[in-house]
Amino acid sequence: MPRKSEGRKKIEMVKIENPSNLAVAFTKRRFGLLKKASELCTLCGAQLAVIVFAPKQEKVYSFGSPSVEAIINRYLQQSPDPQSSRASQFMDILRNANIQELNNQLTNKLEQLEAEKNAAKELQKIREENQQNNWWDKPIEEMGLEELEQLKVAMTEIKEYAERHVEGRTT
């Protein structure tokens, strides 16, 4: 059976000229970049800052752990490790724990969202099947010959059932 899509394929690294495609690519890759930076901080305890200027826009996006300002100041001062005090070590531990918890919550919410999307698809499928099964609810003008014959048989059966039911009550 042939594949329906090409999947993830390598794209050529050239500047995107179309402004719409450029904006979409920037948004997706910016999200991925900041997510990877957050994961690097969480998993390895790395201190880093990421600053991204949006192309052809006035927007600036940044991420820093512990903060962008702290990382820039440390870089400019070329100070060895400001983590010598126990208080700052404790704060980093708390911050990393909070980041880890938020990452876990985000992952759980994304999984829940995916499950809800799948459930919605299933419900839509069931609705469509039910609409097909309730053919008698269609206006008579829209029914074909076969459906009209089925409707006639069903109505005859209902009439006979009702007559039997009435006779059973009167006797």
Where along the chain do its domains lie? Answer: 16-78, 80-134, 136-170
pTM: 0.42
Q: Do 71 and 49 form a contact (C-beta atoms < 8 A)?
A: yes
What's the CATH class of domain 16-78? alpha beta
User: What pLDDT, in 10s, does the model give residues 123-164?
Assistant: 888 887 776 666 667 788 888 898 888 889 988 998 998 888
Q: Of 18-32, 78-92, 105-119, which gets the smallest average pLDDT? A: 78-92
User: What pLDDT, in 10s, does the model give residues 55-66?
Assistant: 877 788 888 888
